[in-house]
Amino acid sequence: MAECAGECDRRCSRTHHRKPCLFFCNKCCAKCLCVPPGYYGNKETCPCYNNWRTSAVGPNALNHWPILLS
C-alpha cells in the first residue's frame, strides 16, 4: 500500500480538497491497486475506480475523487 500513498499524493496534489481526495483515492487504490494518471480525470484507465458512483449525482460529477456508495 506504500505505492498507493505516493500515487494518491501525486493525484491529489493540485486540488483544494486534498483531505477528501486522499481519503477516497487511497480507498480506491486499496481495492483496485490502481490510481489514474494525472491530476484530474483519466478514470477509464482504472476499471473499478471508473465504475464507482457518487452518492448524489453520478459517476463524473467529482472527477478528482469518487464518493463511494458502498
Pairwise pLDDT comparison (61 vs 10), residue with the higher score: 10
Inform me whether the pLDDT recorded for 8 exceeds 60: yes
Inform me whether the pLDDT recorded for 49 exceeds 80: no
Give the pTM: 0.68
pLDDT at residue number 10: 94
Residue 17 neighbours by CB under 8 Å, 6+ apart: 64, 65
Q: What is the mean pLDDT of residues 12-22?
A: 91
- Measured CA to CA, the distance from residue 42 to residue 32 in angstroms comes to 15
What is the rounded (10 degree) CA torsion for 53, 54, 59, 64? Answer: -120
